[in-house]
Structure 1
C-alpha cells in the first residue's frame, strides 16, 4: 500500500525566496528516489507563505528510505530557521475505499 502524506509549514516573513529555492531543490532530489511516486509542492492561494507538500511513496520501505536519504537532514537543518513552525507538520493520509 502507498504511503501518502501532506507536509505543511509556513515561511517566515522575508524568507519566502530562500524557502522556495530550498524546497524546489529538495523536490528535484526526492522525485529521483526509486520509491517516490509524487512530491508536489504548493503554496496556499490565500497565504503564499504557507507551503503544502503532497508526498506519495510506493510503500513503507520506500518512505523509510526517503527518511534516511543523505540530503534530508541537511535540508531540514537549513529549513528550520526559515519557517514559523519547529519543523514541517506531517499529516498521514489513507485513501477512502
Structure 2
C-alpha cells in the first residue's frame, strides 16, 4: 500500500529565499528516489511562508528508505532554524475507500 503524507511548516520572515532554495534542491533528490511517487511542494496562495509538501511513496519500505537517505538529516538540520516549528508537522493520509 502506498505511503502518503503531508509535511507542513512555516518559514520565519526573512528566510524565504533560503528555504525556497533548500526545498527545491531537496525535492530534486527525493524525486530521484526509486520509491518516490510524488513530491510536490506548495505554499499557501495567501501566505507564502506556509509550506505544504505532498509526498507519496510506493510503500512503507520506500518511505523508510526515504527517511534513511543520507541527505535528509542535513536538510532538516539546515531547515530547522529557518522555520517557526521545531520540525515539520507530518500528517499521514489514507485514501477514502
In 1, Cα distance between equivalents of 2:88 and 2:21: 16
Q: Which residue of 1 aligns with 2:62?
A: 62
Matched, 1:45 2:48: no
1:12 is paired with a residue whose SS is coil
1:30 is paired with a residue whose SS is helix
In 1, Cα distance between equivalents of 2:4 and 2:95: 9
Q: Which residue of 2 aligns with 1:8?
A: 8
Q: Which residue of 2 aligns with 1:78?
A: 78
Q: Which runs of 5+ in 1 are unaligned?
A: none
RMSD between aligned residues: 0.3
Q: What is the Cα deviation at residue 51 of structure 1?
A: 0.2
In 1, Cα distance between equivalents of 2:16 and 2:9: 12
TM-score by length of 1: 0.99
Listed as ranges, the matches of 1:20-31 within 5 Å are 20-31=20-31
In 2, Cα distance between equivalents of 1:64 and 1:54: 16
Runs in 1 of length 4+ with deviation above 4 angstroms?
A: none
* Alignment length (residue pairs): 97
TM-score by length of 2: 0.99
In 2, Cα distance between equivalents of 1:15 and 1:26: 16
Q: What is the Cα deviation at residue 4 of structure 1?
A: 0.1
